[in-house]
Amino acid sequence: MNLRSNSNILENVKLLGKSELNSKKITQNVATEVHVPPAKKIRKKIVVQAADENARASTSKEEVQVSSWKPGNWPKTLQNIREMRKNRDAPVDVMGCEKHGDFIGTEKDRRFHILVSLMLSSQTRDQVTDAAMRKLKTDIPGGLTVENLLKLDDGVLGKLIYPVGFWKKKVLYLKRVAEILRDQYDGDIPQDLAGLCMLPGVGPKMAHLCMDIAWGSLTGIGVDTHVHRIANRLGWTPKVTKVPEETRKALEEWMPRDLWREINWLLVGFGQQICLPIGPKCGSCLNATICPYAKGEVKLESPRKKKKLVE
């Protein structure tokens, strides 16, 4: 994260008056509790852990590796997952959000496509997100841009993105986000975690992935439901975690930073093909003999639970 990003965060802190600065790590982390003002009945309260990439990259080993705890067998487990994922033929490999920025247009529009794709992908299969993005790109007069989206009737937008999960709510979020981008970011997307997380319908997982895919800035591990579930099954957290954000923090405590970018892609595809939410294919998994979940050492709640929109 550059100086401008830190400046933005600190400015947000100042303006909102709801934040706490960690004085020991002020150059590395800024913990910001952000309250978004009510806008068209969309309210949001979030906690953002913003990491300064450049600062962290240059810090000493002791500062990055803040925990000495590491899961047993993790290098072997990771190697096995890489082996099982070597064909790169999971839905995420051909329809992941980073695929939706590949078009001829401005850099701003490319980043907007990635943000929209991430917003649609929450609680939605990659195939459905991909179909919706294709329709948005081809059926919106003039193409998918901030201005063109704002001109679109809500009903038409709903038909274009249906049946993505929570599509009615996402119509409202997309419209509100487009307004914010037009009014506050000159039609671009925010270039920092705090700014992204302040957008309606955008949570930490999306923000970290967006920073990486849209801006090329690695700020944290993108932990979705696949990464959250598999990390717990593999015992990659010191204790069972309840939500993806808790899992992200636990993983970042021990996992070498050079794996952060790879791990989302690796585990999402692994979760789509083998370590399924319900009925994981342990019989054909290379990790069956070392996996705590397969050996009955880890008990987890059923994934059949109430869905949450923002990740």
Q: Binders of ligand SF4 among 225-244, rule CB under 6 A?
A: 233-234
Q: Binders of ligand SF4 among 253-292, rule CB under 6 A?
A: 274-275, 280-282, 285, 287-288, 291
Nearer to ligand SF4, 100 or 233 (CB): 233
CB of 295 to ligand SF4, least distance (A): 8
Nearer to ligand SF4, 129 or 232 (CB): 232
- Size, binding site for ligand SF4 by CB under 6 A: 13
> Interface with ligand SF4 includes 293 (CB under 6 A)?
yes
Nearer to ligand SF4, 220 or 280 (CB): 280
CA gap 222, 205 in Å, rounded: 5
Which of the 8 DSSP states describes residue 306? -
CB of 83 to ligand SF4, least distance (A): 12
**Structure tokens that stand for 299 in this block:** 């008990």
CB neighbours of residue 189 within 10 Å: 25
- The closest alpha carbon to 204, from 216, 215, 214, 192, belongs to 192
For the chain, the distance separating the N- and C-terminal CA atoms, rounded to the nearest angstrom, is 22
Q: Which residues contact 105 (CB under 8 A, 6 or more apart)?
A: 143, 145
Q: What is the phi/psi pair of residue 59, to 5°? A: -80, 170
CA gap 79, 72 in Å, rounded: 13
Is there a contact between 300 and 232 (Cβ–Cβ < 8 Å)?
Answer: yes
CB of 237 to ligand SF4, least distance (A): 14
Nearer to ligand SF4, 36 or 286 (CB): 286
Nearer to ligand SF4, 116 or 274 (CB): 274
Give the active site residue among 205, 295, 299, 306: 205
From candidates 50, 221, 294, 310, binder to ligand SF4 by CB under 6 A: 294
Q: Cα 119–125–128 angle (5° rounding)?
A: 80
Q: Is 205 a catalytic residue?
A: yes
Residue with tokens 């839905």: 91
CB of 280 to ligand SF4, least distance (A): 4
Question: Which sequence positions are flagged as catalytic?
Answer: 205
Residues at the interface with ligand SF4 (CB under 6 A): 233-234, 274-275, 280-282, 285, 287-288, 291, 293-294
